[in-house]
Amino acid sequence: MKKRKKLIIVVVIIVLLGGGVFAYFHFHKKTASVTYQTAQATKGTLTATVSGSGNIVVSESADVKPSISGTVANLKVSVGDEVKKGQALFTITNDDLDVTVSKAYTTLLQARQKLTDAKSSLDTAKQDYNSLLKSAVTEAQLAYDQANQNLLQAKYQFEQDEDTLQKYEDENEENSGTHTQVEIYLTEQKITVDKTTITSKESEVFSAKNDLARAKAGTSSTISVAKSKVDSAEVNVQTAENDVNAAQLDYDNQKKTAAERTVTAPINGTLSAVNVGNGDQLGSTSSSNASSSSASNSAAITIQNLSSLKAVVDINEVDIAKVKVDQKASMTFDAISDLTLTGKVEKVDTVGTSTQGVVSYSATIGFDSLDERVRPEMSVNTTITTEVKQDVLIVSSSAVKTSGTTHYVQILENGSPVQQTVEIGATSDTQTEITSGLSEGTSVVTQTITANQTSTTNTNSSRSNTRNFEGDGMITGPGGMF
């Protein structure tokens, strides 16, 4: 019985303790005490920036790919060596190229000789033409002069015969029968012949005059034949000159090709790859070893100008419109924690790329100065200064809130926050420019701090949009809680 009584007493005590705890938590609740952290709107300089990340690239590089076949020889460079433009890297043994150059030179000499012969023939044709032209004009002039002389002679004879006829007629009138009718008839016949002769001589003068004009113009048949010979000789000279030019070009090309047996560096830089070795065959479809195979399928040597390093970074589509050429930038490196370099934007791509639905655009940044620790393909983080505005009204970005398309801040009136509509301008990572709606010196709410306190209440406690921390406070920003 005693044990049973003790057990009952223990149960009663436990029930009473449990009820007391329940009553305590039922009739007591925790209430929240809210405080506001503020900061004044001040005039100052706002620097807007855009961030991006990417890699270091070499903007100037060159692959050495000989265009001729042969055997690699005299290779004395290796990866990491610095070379100058025009420096010999190796040579290619190919004696067949000497034969090709010799044949091209022989063809050139033959073409030059044909040109000399063609020019000589042209000179002869021109001399013959000029001589014939001069002679033809002289002869035509003589013929024209003689035709005129013959015409004058015929006219003179006509006048003499007319005078004779008139004389016969006059003498017969004075003394009938002085001249017989036969004499008069014969004289009249001579006059008729004279007229015919004059007409003939006039035709000869006209013809001689035309011949002289054709001779002077070089259009006579004889001269035309000589002129055609000159024209043909000129065509032959032009053809010969074309042949010489073609032969000269081929000879120069063959010499250039032969000169390529000495392979030189096309740019200043550092050798980043050497894929050939002495004895390798270039230009062959198969190779006896791995080095030779590489030489036939890839660049023999790759040169990178490490002084031409650039940073190529991806900029989000939201920010790309703010990025312009010549804007200043600062760069940090994952692999070199203590290094920050500066530079300028040199190029902004106009075509973006989409990766898992995120569109970005590449921007190329040149360095103001390089550090020897920077290497190609290193990761780089870039901050681009897109805008610097001086003497503007600035508040902390945490104070600016948005409702739809309206921006506002909160100011305290009698300890309670009140919305104040504002218009904003440029923004940075931490600050926002206020262009209207707020005065310098006005305090705005930047943080809302909620501290948990315990108070007695007759209602159940509830919490909404808060996080409870025993012994700690809670900080809320412009869009909610931190």
pLDDT confidence of residue 458: 35
d(CA 277, CA 219): 74
Asked, for residue 283, whether it belongs to a domain, the answer is yes
What pLDDT, in 10s, does the model give residues 218-237? 667 777 888 888 999 999 99
Tell me the pLDDT tens digit for each residue of 169-180: 888 888 887 888
What is the model's pLDDT at position 135? 77
Last residue of a domain, which of 186, 218, 253? Answer: 253
Together in a domain, 222 and 105? yes
Whether 238 contacts 119, CB under 8 Å: no
Q: Is residue 4 part of a domain?
A: no
Where b means 16+ CB within 10 Å and e means fewer, 81-96 reads bebeeeeebbbbebee
Q: What is the mean pLDDT of residues 328-342?
A: 95
Query: 468 pLDDT exceeds 50?
Result: no
Indicate whether 413 belongs to any domain: yes
Contacts 24+ apart (CB under 8 A), 229-234: 229/125, 229/128, 229/129, 230/122, 230/125, 230/126, 230/129, 232/125, 233/118, 233/121, 233/122, 233/124, 233/125, 233/126, 234/122
113-166 pLDDT tens trace:
999 999 999 999 898 888 877 777 787 888 889 999 999 998 999 999 899 988
Instruction: Give the pLDDT confidence of 76-112 residue by residue, as tens digits.
Output: 899 989 999 999 999 998 888 888 999 999 999 999 9
- Predicted local distance difference test score (pLDDT) of residue 133: 76
Contacts of 419 (CB under 8 A, 6+ apart): 408, 409, 410
Residue 16 falls inside a structural domain: no
Return d(Cα 5, Cα 13) in angstroms, integer: 12
How far is Cα 68 from Cα 258, in angstroms, rounded to an integer? 9
Assess whether 189 and 328 both reside in one domain.
no
> In whole angstroms, what is the distance from residue 95 CA to residue 420 CA?
89
CATH at 387: 2.40.30.170
Please report the pLDDT score of residue 463 as a whole number: 32
Do residue 209 and residue 348 come from a single domain? no
Whether the predicted model's global pTM rises above the 0.75 cut: no
Give the domain range for residue 413: 32-58+306-481
pLDDT band for position 208 (cuts 50, 70, 90)? confident
DSSP of 142-209: HHHHHHHHHHHHHHHHHHHHHHHHHHHHHHHHHSTTSS-HHHHHHHHHHHHHHHHHHHHHHHHHHHHH
**182 is a domain residue:** yes
User: Cα 387 vs. chain centroid, distance in angstroms?
Assistant: 30
Over the Cα atoms of the chain, what is R_g? 57
**82/272 Cα distance (integer angstroms):** 10
What pLDDT score does 256 carry?
86
Number of domains in the chain: 3
User: Mean pLDDT over residues 302-328, rounded?
Assistant: 93
* Mean pLDDT over each residue of the chain, to the nearest integer: 83
Taking the alpha carbons of 340, 346, 311, 318 in that order, is the dihedral positive or negative?
positive
Paired strand residues for 476: 448, 481
Please, which residues have CB within 8 angstroms of residue 79's CB and are 6 or more apart in sequence? 271, 272, 273, 274
What is the predicted pLDDT for the residue at 293? 40
Give per-residue pLDDT as tens, 404-419: 999 999 999 988 899 9
Band of pLDDT at residue 310, cut at 50, 70 and 90: very high
Please tell me the predicted confidence (pLDDT) of residue 320: 93
178 and 315 in one domain?
A: no
Cα separation of 348 and 329, whole Å?
13
Residue 5 confidence class, pLDDT cut points 50, 70, 90:
low
For residue 114, give the 3-state DSSP assignment.
helix
Which residues, other chains included, contact 115 with Cβ-Cβ below 8 Å and sequence gap of 6+? Answer: 237, 240, 241, 243, 244
Q: Are residues 192 and 82 in the same domain?
A: no
Token match 């223990």: residue? 10
Residue 50, amino acid: V
